[in-house]
Structure 1
Amino acid sequence: MPPHRRLLHRRPSLRRPSLRRSSLRRLPRVSGRGRASRMDMRDLWAESLAGVLARPVRSALTTLGTVLGITTLVITMGIAATAGNQIVGRFDELTATTISVDVPANRDPLVTWEAAAELTRLRGVTSAAALAQTAKSAALTVRANNLVDPTAVSEQSMNVLAATPELPTAAKGRMIQGRFFDAGHDRRGDRVAVLGEQAAKLLKITALENAPAVFIKGRAYTVIGILGDLRREEVLGASVIVPRSVGADFDVHHVSRVLINTTLGAADMIAKQVPTALSPNRAAELHIAAPPSPKRAREGVESDVNGLFLILGLVSLVVGAVGIANVTLVTVMERIAEIGLRRSLGAARRHIAAQFLLESTLIGLTGGVIGTSVGVVAVVAVSAARQWTPVLDVQLALAAPVVGAVVGLLAGLYPALRAARMEPVDALR
């Protein structure tokens, strides 16, 4: 037989069973002295991914713990920020736009009625009204009729004050029944009165069709309206309000208080201008009650709400971390034979530890990404349902997946160290 035919004839006998190329690539390289040198990152990644996908149901359930933790964290932080923004918005609407001016009692009027009415000419002032009340007009006896009924309480002690026609708007209230007096009533000196809602209930005046009257110091005053739903100066709800020209009946002549409403953000500027506008020569004698800084209030509310919800989110995250640690530890116990085989083929302790750490980190990262997405969608959905403006920190949305990966890494630390400490002989036994 020719030599080349003998070589072809012998070639099949030289064949040996061999491992797949992918399996050879995954094995750690061994140095000449028989010690494991290093493991390629691609091999480590492939082995870790295979370990996660080998048990898809268990991996999915383990990832669910991290998903719930990260979702809860994102939702709580997002809802907290959104709710805090709404609370501060309501605070700004009701408080940060109101200014009160207390006018000390004096023989000469420090503030005239006309000066208070002209405050709306200042840029940023939406409404303004003046009130007048003295010690003599406080706690006056008011009756709903002139009949004496021994079996019923017909008299009530109430405050009587004079005001300008702009009072309902300045007090942020509304007329429940009837109307408020106008400049014509004031100019003619009509003896009309407007009752606060609570005062009307005490006097048992529920309807105005028959033009009921109240009697103060023996004089009758026709009730033309009932003022209620007051969002500032709630004391007006239990008072009797009359035009300023009628206030002379109760020794009420000079302005004692001015109520001012401003646009949002203009309160600080208006508070500085109001004293000069009301009393240019004696501005220092007026007492201005301006709202506190809304920025500080916003930060305080958001900080308190965020702190509360952050604790709830962290508790949920810890529960997810415990689940990852438990499942990873069970996985290590089930793969003892595999660990022993790898160690006997030259894998070092660090290779085993790195593999299990990467597996738990992958689970945590996956849960973080899914949880962040679900959390953001939930915050937007809740805000849309409540007609709120969703507020979500972009840094939180970007950091949440990283937090999930860190949680997975920390949760898999103990199981990975336990797997790395196994001896090949004990594992294969």
Structure 2
Amino acid sequence: MHIRDLAGEALAGLLARPVRTALTTLGTVLGITTLVVTLGVAATAGNQIVGRFDELVATAITVEVPESENVPLVEWDAIDRLTRLRGVESAAAVAESKDGANVSVRANAIVDPTRVTAQTLTVMAATTGLPEAARGRIVRGRFYDAGHIRRGDRVAVIGDQAAKMLGIGDLDRAPAIFVGGHAYTVIGILGDLRRERNLSTAVIVPPTVGRRFGLRDVTRVLVNTSLGAAGLIAGQAPDALSPGNGDMLQVIAPPSPTRARDQAQADANALFLILGLVSLVVGAVGIANVTLVTVMERIAEIGLRRSLGAARRHVAAQFLLESTLIGLAGGVIGASLGVVTVVGVSAAKQWTPLLDVRLALAAPVAGAVVGLLAGLYPALRAARMEPVDALR
């Protein structure tokens, strides 16, 4: 049988039942579309996840300042020198001490024996850049400024969890908290922390006020850098904070996240690939079932062809070609729908679409291979039929 005759017979067999052929092709279309969409969306979303992972993890530096019996190693105004370094986006100095770790804080001066009016909170001192350095925001009120620090005003900013514990939600009436027998006006509530989450249960006061709680010296410096500048700033920060004593400071810089990031992305891609292959297998099973039903319906046709001289290989080749054409058509349509879906999802999310061109080009081939494999058993069964039995 000439290849053109074989192709014509296979095409005629498919077009003879257009609705069934379309429904059979739909299984492959769904499988290929799912495969392209899952891999494309996985790559696109993985790129966004990697970018956020780098932004949140690979840009945070902490400088630990040890205690000094003589002069403090890091002055409070040293933050100004640090922020002038190229690549530093925000920084803040923080002071903590054992005396300020468990301090009784009350929201009013009334002692009620029937209820708990006091909470044990941590009192900390910090510079004005703390909200940005802790990657949080002031959810109520405001943060104290340089004027409050210079005048030594008794003001405080509390974490959002501390505000709930003390029953403070509205700052319009300038509520006060009592710490160590002294009243401090709450001017802000700090929340939405993505770094230093312990600040959510802390009371933060200006450095000039923190001396009353033993918060005289800077104990930690929080630094946020631009992406890619963490390694450089980690080497420059000690000298900027404490010229001549930089080697005494301990810098905690983020390790390179490349290996962990690539492994996480590879795991995500493998998961989506498995999901796509499962969908493709479902489509292959659909093609095999419909092709087998087609063989059973065309027993008389097969018997007539065999009696007119068609060999077993001719019958097998015809059904294999039909199933391959179904898979190829499903692959082309599925690849097109998959690419359009990936671009549409990326546009809706304002992402940059990432799709391997080789995947889009290989999808129709994958569909044809699936159709070929799915048609093997039905084709072999058709080829094994004896002409007499088929005509009978």
Percent identity over paired residues? 72
Aligned equivalents of 1:324 and 1:204: distance in 2?
A: 66
Asked if the contact 1:325/1:411 (under 8 Å) is kept, the reply is yes
Q: Equivalent residue of 1:269, what SS?
A: helix
From 302, 314, 330, give the equivalent of 1:351.
314
Of 311, 323, 338, 2:301 maps to: 338
How far apart are the structure 1 equivalents of 2:381 and 2:329?
24
**Residue of 50, 53, 74 corresponding to 1:88:** 50
Post-superposition shift, 1:240? Answer: 1.0
Q: Superposition pairs for residues 211-250 of structure 1, below 5 Å?
A: 211-250=174-213
Which stretch shifts more, 118-127 or 82-91?
82-91
Which residue identity does 2:78 align to in structure 1? A
The alpha-carbon deviation at position 312 of structure 1 amounts to 2.3
- Kindly indicate whether the alpha-carbon contact (under 8 Å) linking 1:84 and 1:298 is maintained by their aligned counterparts in 2: no
Q: Which residue of 2 aligns with 1:281?
A: 244
Q: Is the 8 A contact 1:143 1:215 kept in 2?
A: yes
Partner Cα distance (1:206, 1:334) in 2: 76
Q: Secondary structure at the match of 2:378?
A: helix
State the partner residue of 1:28: none
Q: Match for 2:299: what amino acid?
A: I
Q: Corresponding residue for 1:134?
A: 97
In the TM superposition, residue 180 of structure 1 has moved relative to its aligned partner by 1.5
Counterpart of 2:67, as a letter, is A
Question: Which residue does 2:78 correspond to in 1?
Answer: 115
Deviation at 1:139, TM superposition (A): 0.7
Q: How does 1:74-85 map to 2 (within 5 A)?
A: 74-85=36-47
- Residue equivalent to 2:159: 196
Matched pairs, number: 391
Q: How far apart, in 2, do the equivalents of 1:64 and 1:205 lie?
A: 60
CA distance in 2, matches of 1:380, 1:127: 36
Q: List per-residue Cα deviations over 1:124-169 (Å, max 9, x = no partner).
A: 1111101001111111112223332223322211111111111111
| In 1, Cα distance between equivalents of 2:37 and 2:45 | 12
Q: CA deviation at 1:405?
A: 0.7
Structure 2 alignment gaps of length 5 or more: none
Q: Is the 8 A contact 1:136 1:251 kept in 2?
A: yes
Decide whether aligned partners of structure 1 residues 426 and 101 sit closer, same or farther in structure 2, where only a CA change above 3 A counts: same
Counterpart in the other structure of 1:43: 5
The equivalent residue for 1:179 is: 142
Match in the other structure for 2:131: 168
User: Could you give the per-residue CA deviations for residues 66-95 of structure 1, whole angstroms, max 9, x where no partner exists?
Assistant: 111112222222232233233333323332
Question: Conserved in 2, the CA contact under 8 Å of 1:88 and 1:297?
Answer: no
| Distance (Å, rounded) in 2 between the aligned partners of 1:290 and 1:93 | 14
Write the mapping of 1:256-267 to structure 2, written as runs, cut at 5 A.
256-267=219-230
- Structure 2 CA distance for partners of 1:112 and 1:363, relative to 1, 3 Å: same
Length-normalised TM-score, structure 1: 0.84
Give the residue type in structure 1 aligned to 2:61. Answer: I
**Partners in 2 of 1:327 and 1:217 — Cα distance?**
82
Per-residue deviation, 1:50:
1.9
Matched residues in 2 for 1:404 and 1:163: separation? 62
Partner of 2:235: 272
1:363 corresponds, among 319, 322, 326, to 326
Q: Give me the TM-score of the superposition, normalised by structure 2.
A: 0.92
Unaligned runs of 5+ in 1: 1-38
Question: Alpha-carbon deviation of 1:280?
Answer: 4.4
State the distance in 2 between where 1:425 and 1:177 align: 90
Task: Tell me how far apart the structure 2 counterparts of residues 96 and 279 of structure 1 sit (CA, whole Å).
Answer: 24
| Shift in alpha-carbon separation, 1:322–1:125, aligned structure 2, 3 A | same
Q: Within the alignment, does 1:210 sit opposite 2:139 as a pair?
A: no
SS at match of 2:222: strand
Q: What is the CA-CA distance between 1:193 and the residue it aligns to?
A: 1.5
Task: State the match for 1:103 in structure 2.
Answer: 65
Deviations 1:10-54 (A, max 9, x none): xxxxxxxxxxxxxxxxxxxxxxxxxxxxx3322222222222222
- Structure exhibiting the larger radius of gyration computed from Cα positions: 1
Distance 1:101 1:251 in 2: 20
> Aligned equivalents of 1:287 and 1:57: distance in 2?
73
Pair 1:391-2:320 in alignment: no
Superimposed CA distance per residue, residues 231-276 of structure 1 (whole angstroms, 9 cap, x where no aligned partner): 2111111111111122211111211111111112222332233233
Aligned match of 2:108: 145
Q: Say which is worse superposed, 380-389 or 185-194, in terms of deviation.
A: 380-389
Could you report, residue by residue, the CA deviation over 1:343-379 in whole angstroms, capped at 9, with x for unpaired residues? 3444332222222211111100001111111222223
Do structure 1's residue 311 and structure 2's residue 271 form an aligned pair?
Answer: no
Residue in 2 aligned with 1:72? 34
SS of 2:112's equivalent in the other structure is coil
CA distance 1:47–1:284, shift in 2 (3 Å)? farther
Distance 1:381 1:69 in 2: 19
Instruction: Please state whether the residue corresponding to 2:190 is helix, strand or coil.
Output: strand
